[in-house]
Structure 1
């Protein structure tokens, strides 16, 4: 009798212990199946609209993913948000280039601004093809300030560029003049190197590349940027482990390029020969609503370099077939680990920009 009871108790305990052991395993399996969205990794998507690499505006990217353009990956214990854009496909607004990029829902004015964007990222791919003599080839823009008004020019674009066969690429930033007058065709960019070269260092032939930069950034190497605009002044800070921290300052409300004599030598070499020789309005971006952008704005496209030797890459697009472009490296891919935005109280709705461009 006592023996029987003991056996039953032992069996019952065994079942109970086995059940307890199985429970965490089932819970873990369930968690692994759960989608981790970008908004779980970087919870700031209420402040942005997401433009995809097919030109569509999906609005707030909360609990959203698209495996062609925007999703998350886990590397070790870290979740990353992936932005991916092919060389060719449908584009947003008047651009020649595809993008998977966030655009800020509010705009702010440089004179009254107290606005900030920070991000930590790594570039995982730039286009495998394109004419090396074209300055924008093999490049992607990972952060911007864009104007919502007038010419809709860009006082800031942060680039990463790496030539095929090189281990290290370059990080540089651009200021685009806010062209005086109604004709914006004379606009041009001025490029400043952060690590490696600036925009103007190009190949001598279609597939002949310049020397690899000694202090450059490799694909898959993390770096961070900080953009602060306050009372008309833009301050930039770039950091990366093992690299010198770099800082820059630019006045957004008072131009230094108001006459032909002010056009810098870099611009004389790159832009003036193709007719982009404008001057900037004295007040620069004063009175225009500006907003941040973040993501992968692919600078490589399939347009002929004969159209524009700085921006038209002549790269492979497979007629816009996205999967074929992804298969042979004709795309840009950027992973973001962290990002944060701070918006001034004077910011207002940016809906007018989206109405014009969507």
Structure 2
């Protein structure tokens, strides 16, 4: 099967090298970075954006972000390890679709079907910040989603969400991934996630009270610690790979077209414990996500908000949220996207949700 292969590359920037040689004062270095951000766009660093549309943390869809930046949400920067694309999203602001969470996130312009899929998304990234406020009893608090598979059809559920989560006062946070059931029937209110830990805890580990946190995960990743993921869907199977220096590489697989959650008895104990109070005990379609168009998302989908997870929003004041650490920020160094020839336009999803 022929594929369109769009890979990332990080170009050497002559202006950056030149200014680094001639600048030695701290205030001059700040001017250097500022000048770099004016002349280098995110699409110069990770050239996959012709396959995606970008939603900003204020809820707006700006389309394909070629030669584009927004200093509040999406821009280029550099550090000692190279050049990065910055995604930022506050706890409170205008949201996209039906979500209560803000996001600065790419959404794929084409959708593909898991039965015949041969599609891939990769990333190398580091999380710079998660919210400093939240309700520790809520599973989404203090976390950010950095990659997704989303359905464009049916209930528009999510067979994959890749998270980073760190509680206040902890040095290390957790990386985990969630599978959301594709609920059987017309009522999607019973949907739930099943979570799998990569490094540290899974989604179900929460505090005993709003301000009482679990113990710090011993095998977690620190803020600013680089890691990578690969998501490859082929012939109905989702294959995941995670890597980070100094940590054990992890691989996982999940069938997207045959469900293991078709009866109440098949609901995992983790799910029963986490969702017992909310009554979310639905079952999944026997063929899971078969027949539905799926697409990739990547970026900074902040899971802390002021409605359901107790985050501070200062009435939507973005400056105040950024000053107090009430936002999520993720830097991406590399990304690639492989699109199968069978993929078709995803414009219907954007029409419904914009």
TM-score for both structures, normalised by structure 1:
0.89
Matched, 1:330 2:326: yes
Q: How many residues are treated as equivalent by the alignment?
A: 324
Residue correspondence of structure 1 range 155-174 to structure 2 within 5 A: 155-174=159-178
Query: Aligned partners of 2:312 and 2:65: how far apart in 1?
Result: 30
Structure 2 equivalent of residue 51 of structure 1: 55
The separation in 2 between residues aligned to 1:296 and 1:337, in whole angstroms, is 14
- How far apart, in 2, do the equivalents of 1:96 and 1:206 lie? 20
- Give yes or no for the alignment of 1:145 onto 2:149: yes
Alignment match, 2:352: 356
- Give the match for residue 305 of structure 2: 301
Deviation at 1:110, TM superposition (A): 0.1
How many Å separate the matches in 2 of 1:278 and 1:170?
A: 27
> Equivalent residue for 1:291?
295
- Aligned CA RMSD, in angstroms, stands at 1.4
2:190 is the alignment partner of 1:186? yes
Question: Deviation of residue 206 (structure 1)?
Answer: 1.2
Secondary structure at the counterpart of residue 324 of structure 1: helix
SS for the counterpart of 2:39 is coil
Instruction: Flag the 1:77–1:126 CA change in 2: closer, same or farther, 3 A.
Output: closer
Q: CA deviation at 1:35?
A: 1.4
**C-alpha offsets along residues 57-81 of structure 1, whole Å, 9 cap, x if unaligned?**
0001000000000001110251100
Distance in 2 between the 1:351 and 1:221 partners?
36
CA distance in 1, matches of 2:188, 2:141: 23
Report whether the alignment pairs 1:97 with 2:101.
yes
Which residue of 65, 68, 73 maps to 1:69? Answer: 73
Moved over 6 A (4+): none
1:125 aligns with 2:129: yes
Kindly report which structure 2 residues correspond to 1:219-258, keeping only aligned pairs within 5 A, or say none. 219-258=223-262
- Find the counterpart in structure 2 of residue 134 from structure 1: 138
Give 5+ residue unaligned stretches, structure 2. 1-17, 23-31
Aligned to 1:313: 309
3-state SS in 1 of match to 2:312: coil
Distance in 2 separating the partners of 1:301 and 1:60: 27
C-alpha distance 32-254 of structure 1, shift in aligned 2 (>3 A): closer
Secondary structure in 1 matching 2:335: strand
Distance 1:85 1:32 in 2: 22
Q: How does 1:239-278 map to 2 (within 5 A)?
A: 239-278=243-282
1:104-119, aligned counterparts within 5 Å? 104-119=108-123
Deviation per residue, 1:179-215 (Å, 9 max, x gap): 0000000000000000000011111111111000001
Structure 1: 5+ residue runs without aligned partners?
A: 1-23, 304-311
Q: Name the larger-Rg structure.
A: 1
176, 185, 193: which one aligns with 2:180: 176
Aligned in 2, Cα 1:356/1:77: closer, same or farther, shift over 3 Å? same
In structure 2, what is the Cα distance between the partners aligned to 1:77 and 1:288?
40
Partner of 1:39: 43
Per-residue deviation, 1:34: 5.2
